[in-house]
Amino acid sequence: MKKNIFLSFCLAFFIPFVGKSIEHATITLLNPSSTATTIEFDVFLVNDGTTALKLAGYQFGINFSATILNGGTPGSTSYEYLSGTRDVALNNLTLPSTQYNNAQLKVSSTPVTLLNAVSLMTGFQYKLGRFRFTNTVPWLSGSMPDLQFQLLSSPGKTHALVIAYVDASITNTPMGVANTFLGTVNTTAGFTLGAPLPVQLLNFSGNKAQAGNQLMWSTCLEINNLGFNLQYSDDGIYFQDLQFIKSKAIDGNCNTVSEYQYFHKMVSSGHHYYRLEQIDIDGNKSYEGNIIDLYRTNDGQITIFPNPTSTQLTIQVVSIEAQKVSIQLSDLQGHILYHTNNMFTAGLQDLPIDISKFANGNYMLTVSTNDKVLLQEKITKIN
């Protein structure tokens, strides 16, 4: 007689069967991370018994307390499976179905057809996927979500339930209650949610002028923000404080747009790197936005923006004379993906490059004339 096994993950419980085989599995929650309003975590399943099993479906949940929601009102679409994050060996299962009800997250998945249940080989860890939960307001700072699986029958608790079978095919003949299979749950307990980000930066950019570089940035949210250290480097590695700019927010708190700028007086050629260091009222520090490189040559000025970019990259050249300029874009292994020659006249000119069809990642942009390289800069393509 073929038999099926319902795996309710809560306790370690090994069931010996004929032939001294042991059927056992472990479900594990790993790699939790959080932002001001989100939590993400991976879920893994491993058959750590001595018998190959057939996985026919699973379900698990995470219990949330209203306290950590901090007054937020997440809904049914707040919980999501991150597409493409499960092992391809699980493709016979339906994609994970997620929902959020009464402060409980729930995930379930069933086989496309019962006769194509997934094989769970012994000793191999299968990733069920990475999952994200989004709150409508920042978490209560320093609070701990209950990222632990609990017995399904315990009211108000989270749970994990897996249905697996010993035989290659599935019948409707259930095992007796006495042979219900219990597995082991490994979880990440004591995970603390981070504090809300002190600053939400809208942009950070710079322009070259005849007497120096103009730096601009703006924010849409500031929490206990003392201000910003604008830092400078000529090699992109070692930075020093250039100027402290006090927060425009009253008492360091605001939820409207605030704009900042600073003019760095200098005219030397070469690379000029800038970054923002945010300082909150308690003295905590963090770096905001990207590093900006405003490159100057003795032959004129070259500016690359925006970087990172998702669609179009603009090369702005201020040339003191007419000259032929070569533009080349390559991957980090040196393979040339784009190349063009352009005749620039004296003055200011913009050259747009469409990189929307490029894969996300880093590339190297080289701007040169016949006899020398004017600029070589790393470009990042994003969504």
Tokens of 315: 């090369």
pLDDT band at residue 185 using 50, 70 and 90 as cut-offs: very low
Q: State phi, psi for 88 to the nearest 5 degrees.
A: -65, -20
Q: DSSP label at 309? A: B
Instruction: Please name each of the domains of the chain with its CATH number.
Output: 4-186 (2.60.40), 197-291 (2.60.40), 299-383 (2.60.40.1930)
Residue 11: is its pLDDT beyond 70? no
pLDDT band at residue 229 using 50, 70 and 90 as cut-offs: very high
Residue 303 vs residues 227, 332, 375: alpha-carbon distances, Å: 27, 21, 9
Residue 11 vs residues 160, 179, 191, 379: alpha-carbon distances, Å: 11, 15, 21, 51
pLDDT band at residue 224 using 50, 70 and 90 as cut-offs: confident
Averaged pLDDT for residues 349-377: 85
Residues with Cβ within 8 Å of 19's Cβ and at least 6 positions away in sequence, in order, are: none
Q: State phi, psi for 141 to the nearest 5 degrees.
A: -55, 130
| Cα(143)–Cα(67) distance, integer angstroms | 8
Q: State phi, psi for 2 to the nearest 5 degrees.
A: -75, 150
Lowest mean pLDDT among 119-133, 328-342, 353-367: 119-133
Residue 116: is its pLDDT beyond 60? no
Q: What is the pTM of this model?
A: 0.45
Q: Count other C-beta atoms under 10 Å from residue 318's C-beta.
A: 18
Of residues 233 and 122, more confidence is placed in 233
Which residues in 186-206 are b (16+ Cβ under 10 Å) and which e?
ebeeebebebbbbbebeebbb
Averaged pLDDT for residues 334-354: 85
Of residues 309 and 318, more confidence is placed in 309
Residue 147: is its pLDDT beyond 70? no
Q: Are 43 and 9 in contact (CB under 8 A)?
A: no
Q: Are 364 and 329 in contact (CB under 8 A)?
A: yes
Q: Count other C-beta atoms under 10 Å from residue 12's C-beta.
A: 11
Segment 237-266, tens digit of pLDDT: 788 999 999 999 988 888 889 999 999 987
| Cα(220)–Cα(138) distance, integer angstroms | 15
Q: DSSP label at 254? A: B
pLDDT band at residue 117 using 50, 70 and 90 as cut-offs: low
Q: Which of 15-19, 227-231, 232-236, 292-296 has the highest mean pLDDT?
A: 227-231
Q: Are 226 and 252 in contact (CB under 8 A)?
A: yes
